[in-house]
With several copies, the nearest count.
Chain A
Amino acid sequence: EGERFVLVSHAPDSDSWWNTIKNAINVAGEQMGVTVEYRNPPTGDLADMARIIEQAAASSPDGIISTIADFDVLSGPLGNAVAMGIPVITINSGTEEQSKEIGALMHVGQPEKAAGFGAGEKAKAAGVTKFLCVNHYITNPASVERCQGYAEALGVELGNQMIDAGQDPAEIKSKVMAYLQTNPDTNGILTLGPTSAEPTIAALNENGQAGTIHFGTFDISSEIAAAIKSDVVAFAIDQQPFLQGYLPVVILTNLARYGVVPGNSINSGPGFVTKDNIELVEKHAGQYR
C-alpha cells in the first residue's frame, strides 16, 4: 500500500497530449492505492529531463516510468536507476530494443518512426504521391522522425515537404495555405498533433480543399474528432496514451506487492481512429483517448 512511482515525460509544460497520461496515472493511482508523480522538463529540454530522472532516482521511489525521447541522453540516467535496484518501465517514444538495453522491465508504446511509417502506408494506399508534413515542433527529434517515416512509406524524399510551422496557430494556418497554394499537386497531409492539426483543418476549410486532400494526423482532440466525422481528416493515429500511463502503474504495483510481472513489452498502439470507431473515441477525446 502507498507505493510511490514517478513518471517522467519529455514534454514541455504546455503539451496537451500528456494530459491523457496524467489522467491515466490518476485513475491507476486511485485504483491501486499508490501515488504517482508526473514530472517533465518545463521547456522540453531533454538534458533537463535527464536531470529529472536522476533526481527521481535520488528520491528512491518504488518505480520509475519514463519515455526514451533520446536514447543517447536518457540511457545513462535510466540505466543508473535500474542499477540502483529501481524497477523502470519505458513508455511512449523509444523502441523495445532500447528499453531492453537500458535494463527496463518492458516498453509500453510505439516507436515514432514506425508510427509515421504506418501513417505513410495508409496514405500510399489512398494514392498519395506528394505530401505536406506540418511540423510544429521542428526542434523535437521525434516529430522529425514521424515525417521521415511517412516519407519512407511513400517511398519519396522528405525534402521541403516538411515545414517548420512554429507554434502560433495563425502562422501555422497561413503557412499551410501558402504551401498548398504554391504546391497545388499536394495530395497528402500529415500533422503531428492538435497544435498543428487544428490550424491545418481551419486552413483547408478556408481554401476549400477540405475533404479533397488525404489528411492524417497524430493524436486526437475534440476538433480532430469532429473533422474525422466530417471526412476532412481520414484518420488519427492514436497510440492510446491512456494505456501508456495506466499499465505501467498497475504492473509496477503488482511487481512491488506480489513480485509478478509480464514477460514481454506491450504495444499500446498504433490505433487508427477513423470514421468507423470515432463515436467511442470522441466521448473521451482529450481525457482518456
Chain B
Amino acid sequence: MSAWRKSLVRPELGAICGTILVFSFFLIIARGTGMFAPQGILNWGVVSAQFAIIAVGACLLMIAGEFDLSVGSMIGFSGVVIALMSVTWGYPVWFAIIVAFAIAVAIGALNGYLVIKTGLPSFIVTLAFLYVLRGLTIYGSIATTRQTIIGGVSEVAAGDPIAWLFGGKILGFLFVWLADIGLIGKFVAGPRAGQPVIEGVPMLIVWALVLIAFAHILLTRTRFGNWIFASGGDAQAARYVGVPVNRVKILMFMFSAFCATVFATCQVMEFGSAAADRGLLKEFEAIISVVIGGALLTGGYGSVIGAALGALIFGVVQQGLFFAGVESSLFRVFLGVILLMAVILNTYIRRMITGER
C-alpha cells in the first residue's frame, strides 16, 4: 500500500466520501435557495451539531462494544428534570442543571452496571430504560404540572451563571463586523433592526466541537482511548492484559448519558421549555450517524471524526431536502438508503484495513 493510499484508507473514508457527495448534490440542487448563505449554513450547522453531540457519546460507547437505546428518553428526562426543578420548584437554574447532569450520569452508570453484572446484551437493558425513563418523564411532568410541556425556563435562567454555557451565543462581535462590511444581512424591522441577522455562534455548536475534539483526542491519543478500543475489540483479551474493561464500559455509558444531557440542556436553554416528548427516536439517529461514520456495530472499531461527519451528513440531508423543497416524508427514504449504502461501503473499507474476513 503506497503512503498515499494508506493515508486515504481509514475508518472515516466512507463518511468523507459521503460528505463530499452530499455537499456536491446540494450545491447543485439547492444552490439558489440560501442554503449556503451564512444563515443557511448556520441552520444546518446547528442541526448537525445536535446530531453530533449525541453521536459522539454513542460512538465511544459503540467502540467500547455496547450501545444505548435510552439516549432519546434520556434527552426528554433531563430536560424535564431541569425545567421542573427550576420553574416548578424554584431552585436556581445552575443547581437544576447540575442535578440533571448528576442524575443522568448516575442512570448511565446504572445502565452500564446492569449490563456488566447481568451479562445481558446492552440492547435489552437499555431498551428497558428507554421505556422506564420515558414513562417517568411523562408521569413526572403530568403529576406535578398537569402538562407535558414546561415553559418559562428562559425567565428563570436570565442572569444564571451556567445557563449561558448552554443557551448563549459567542463571537457576536464578529458577525457585527461582517454585517458592517456587508457580508451578511441585517435585520430591517422589529426591535432588533440594525443588528446582524446572525447574532453569534450558538453554544450548541461550541459544545459539539468541544465534544468531538475531546472524544477524538481521548480515543486516538490517550491510553484510555486504547482501552476503549480494546474493551470493544475483545473484552477477554483486554482483561488478560490488565485493561479495566468494566470500568471503561461503565464510563462510556456515563459519557453517553452526559452527551444526551448536554443535548437536552442546550435545547431547554435555547427554547426556554422542556417537553416530555423531546428526543423521540434520537437513539436511532445517533446510532445511524455513528454507523455511517464507519464504526462497527459490534465494537472495537470506529472513529469520532467519522461519527461527526455522519452527523453532518444527517443534518445536511435533512435540512437540504427542506431547502430543495422535496416532500419531507421522502427524507426517511433517503436516510434508509444512505444508511445501507454507507454501511456496505464502510464494510468494504474496514476489511481492507483490518484484514478481516
Contact assessment for B146 and A148 in the assembled complex, using a CB-CB cutoff below 8 Å: yes
Contact of A169 among B40, B185, B190, B271 (CB under 8 A): B271
Please give, as numbers and ranges, the residues of chain B lying within 8 Å of A57 by CB-CB distance.
Answer: 39
Give the shortest distance, in Å, between A274 (CB) and chain B (any CB): 19
Tell me which residues from 304 to 341 in chain B have a Cβ below 8 Å from any Cβ of chain A. 318-319, 322-323, 325, 327-329, 331-332
Please give, as numbers and ranges, the residues of chain B lying within 8 Å of A210 by CB-CB distance.
Answer: 190-192
Contact assessment for A82 and B189 in the assembled complex, using a CB-CB cutoff below 8 Å: yes
Contact digits for B143-158, partner A, Cβ 8 Å, 1 yes 0 no: 0001111011110000
- Given contacts A13-B329, A58-B37, A164-B328, A50 and B275 within 8 Å (CB-CB): no
Contact digits for A104-125, partner B, Cβ 8 Å, 1 yes 0 no: 0000000000000000000000
Tell me which residues from 31 to 58 in chain B have a Cβ below 8 Å from any Cβ of chain A. 33-35, 37, 39-40, 42-44, 46-47, 50
B237 within 8 A of partner (CB): no
A278 within 8 A of partner (CB): no
B272 within 8 A of partner (CB): yes
- Given contacts A47-B271, A47-B278, A198-B271, A174 and B193 within 8 Å (CB-CB): no
Contact of B47 among A15, A44, A171, A211 (CB under 8 A): A171
Please give, as numbers and ranges, the residues of chain B lying within 8 Å of A45 by CB-CB distance.
Answer: 277-280
Tell me which residues from 114 to 172 in chain A have a Cβ below 8 Å from any Cβ of chain B. 138-141, 144-145, 148, 158, 160, 163-165, 167-171
Contact assessment for A138 and B138 in the assembled complex, using a CB-CB cutoff below 8 Å: yes
Contact of B322 among A103, A179, A211 (CB under 8 A): A179
Give the shortest distance, in Å, between B188 (CB) and chain A (any CB): 4
- Given contacts A59-B35, A138-B138, A208-B195, A199 and B271 within 8 Å (CB-CB): yes
Complex Cα spacing A205 to B197, Å: 11
Contact assessment for B318 and A58 in the assembled complex, using a CB-CB cutoff below 8 Å: no
Complex Cα spacing A42 to B76, Å: 16
Contact assessment for B148 and A139 in the assembled complex, using a CB-CB cutoff below 8 Å: yes
Complex Cα spacing A162 to B285, Å: 24
A277 within 8 A of partner (CB): no
* Cβ-Cβ contact count across A and B, 8 Å cutoff: 257
Contact digits for A20-41, partner B, Cβ 8 Å, 1 yes 0 no: 0011000000000000010110
Contact assessment for A182 and B187 in the assembled complex, using a CB-CB cutoff below 8 Å: no
Contact of B187 among A85, A158, A167 (CB under 8 A): A85
Tell me which residues from 59 to 96 in chain A have a Cβ below 8 Å from any Cβ of chain B. 59-60, 70-73, 76, 79-80, 82-85
Contact assessment for B322 and A175 in the assembled complex, using a CB-CB cutoff below 8 Å: yes
Give the shortest distance, in Å, between B141 (CB) and chain A (any CB): 9
A221 within 8 A of partner (CB): yes
Tell me which residues from 204 to 243 in chain B have a Cβ below 8 Å from any Cβ of chain A. 204
A207 within 8 A of partner (CB): yes
A281 within 8 A of partner (CB): no
Please give, as numbers and ranges, the residues of chain A lying within 8 Å of B347 by CB-CB distance.
Answer: none
A14 within 8 A of partner (CB): yes
Contact digits for A163-194, partner B, Cβ 8 Å, 1 yes 0 no: 11101111101110111011000000000001
Contact assessment for B187 and A54 in the assembled complex, using a CB-CB cutoff below 8 Å: no
A279 within 8 A of partner (CB): no
Please give, as numbers and ranges, the residues of chain A lying within 8 Å of B46 by CB-CB distance.
Answer: 51, 54, 170, 174
Please give, as numbers and ranges, the residues of chain A lying within 8 Å of B191 by CB-CB distance.
Answer: 83, 208, 210-211
Give the shortest distance, in Å, between A270 (CB) and chain B (any CB): 22
Contact assessment for B329 and A42 in the assembled complex, using a CB-CB cutoff below 8 Å: yes
- Given contacts A72-B272, A138-B148, A168-B278, A83 and B187 within 8 Å (CB-CB): yes
Complex Cα spacing A102 to B188, Å: 15
Contact assessment for A46 and B37 in the assembled complex, using a CB-CB cutoff below 8 Å: no
Chain A minimum-CB-distance residue to B43: A55
Give the shortest distance, in Å, between B25 (CB) and chain A (any CB): 16
Chain B minimum-CB-distance residue to A15: B148
B283 within 8 A of partner (CB): no
Can you show 6 pairs from A to B with CB atoms below 8 A apart? Answer: A45-B279, A58-B43, A70-B271, A199-B271, A208-B191, A209-B189
Given contacts A70-B151, A209-B189, could you give 12 more A-B pairs where the C-beta distance is less than 8 Å? A14-B276, A15-B277, A54-B42, A70-B275, A138-B148, A144-B147, A169-B271, A171-B318, A207-B197, A208-B190, A208-B195, A222-B151
Q: Which residues of A does B touch, CB under 8 Å?
A: 12-16, 19, 22-23, 37, 39-40, 42-47, 50-52, 54-60, 70-73, 76, 79-80, 82-85, 103, 138-141, 144-145, 148, 158, 160, 163-165, 167-171, 173-175, 177-179, 181-182, 194-195, 198-199, 202, 205-212, 221-223, 286-287
Q: Which residues of B does A touch, CB under 8 Å?
A: 30, 33-35, 37, 39-40, 42-44, 46-47, 50, 76, 138, 142, 146-149, 151-154, 185, 187-193, 195, 197, 199, 204, 267, 270-273, 275-282, 318-319, 322-323, 325, 327-329, 331-332
Give the top 6 A-B pairs by smallest Cβ distance, nearest first: A139-B277, A14-B277, A141-B149, A208-B187, A83-B187, A72-B273
